[in-house]
């Protein structure tokens, strides 16, 4: 049981997870609508587009689980002083900067070049450390980040049922 004490409480995990879910699902919806309008609208019917949307939502759900499990693994590995005590602040800033960085490089670089250009990833670490330092030193920023993370919990009530419905649609579609 001593090892489980290294993980943050559920009250700390939920706001960070909600930030990741909101960003991932919103980005997935925006890119899916963009691609559907540009490419699929002429070739697929509504049922086909909705089934593809179900796959995208299930994928975003799996990505959100991967994101939160990575943050929990960091919390488990790193000392409590570094990540465990202020999990909401540090996890939210890490989530926003990491996903923002991924979205930026998705829109700015051709496919396959984002991982090959490792020197640009240094900018991610610099921005993350600057935001973490600002969040640690200025209390109003810390309160804003915590408040924002708490407000994003509302999106869990929207996106998680969509995820489960998407998973059910995928299971029914593949079994039937």
Which tens digits make up the pLDDT trace of 97-132?
989 888 887 777 766 565 566 667 777 888 888 888
Q: Is residue 4 part of a domain?
A: no
Domain of 93, in residue numbers: 11-175
The better pLDDT of the pair 35, 25 is held by 25
Q: Is residue 119 part of a domain?
A: yes
Spatial distance between the Cα atoms of 40 and 18, rounded to a whole number of angstroms: 30
- At residue 40 the predicted structure's pLDDT band, cuts being 50, 70 and 90, is low
Q: Is residue 32 part of a domain?
A: yes
Contact in structure between 8 and 75 (CB atoms under 8 Å): yes
Contact in structure between 162 and 57 (CB atoms under 8 Å): yes
Q: Is residue 6 part of a domain?
A: no
pLDDT of 8 > 70? The answer is yes
Predicted TM-score of the model (pTM): 0.87
Lowest mean pLDDT among 1-5, 90-94, 160-164: 1-5
Q: Is residue 155 part of a domain?
A: yes
Spatial distance between the Cα atoms of 67 and 64, rounded to a whole number of angstroms: 5
Q: Is residue 117 part of a domain?
A: yes
Q: How many CB atoms lie within 10 A of CB 61?
A: 21
Number of domains in the chain: 1
């Amino acid at each position: 049981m001593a090892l489980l004490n290294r993980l943050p409480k559920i009250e700390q995990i939920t706001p960070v997870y909600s930030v990741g879910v909101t960003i991932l699902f919103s980005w997935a919806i925006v890119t899916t609508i963009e691609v559907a309008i540009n490419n699929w609208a002429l070739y697929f019917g509504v049922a086909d587009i909705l089934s593809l949307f179900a796959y995208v939502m299930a994928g975003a759900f799996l990505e959100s689980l991967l994101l939160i499990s990575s943050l929990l693994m960091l919390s488990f590995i790193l000392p409590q002083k570094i990540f465990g005590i202020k999990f909401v602040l540090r996890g939210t800033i890490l989530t926003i900067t990491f996903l923002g960085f991924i979205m930026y490089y998705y829109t700015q670089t051709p496919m396959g070049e984002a991982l090959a250009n490792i020197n640009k990833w240094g900018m991610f670490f610099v921005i993350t450390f600057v935001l973490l330092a600002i969040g640690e030193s200025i209390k109003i920023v810390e309160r804003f980040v915590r408040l924002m993370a708490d407000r994003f919990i509302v999106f869990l009530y929207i996106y998680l049922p969509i995820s489960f419905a998407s998973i059910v649609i995928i299971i029914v579609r593949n079994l039937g």
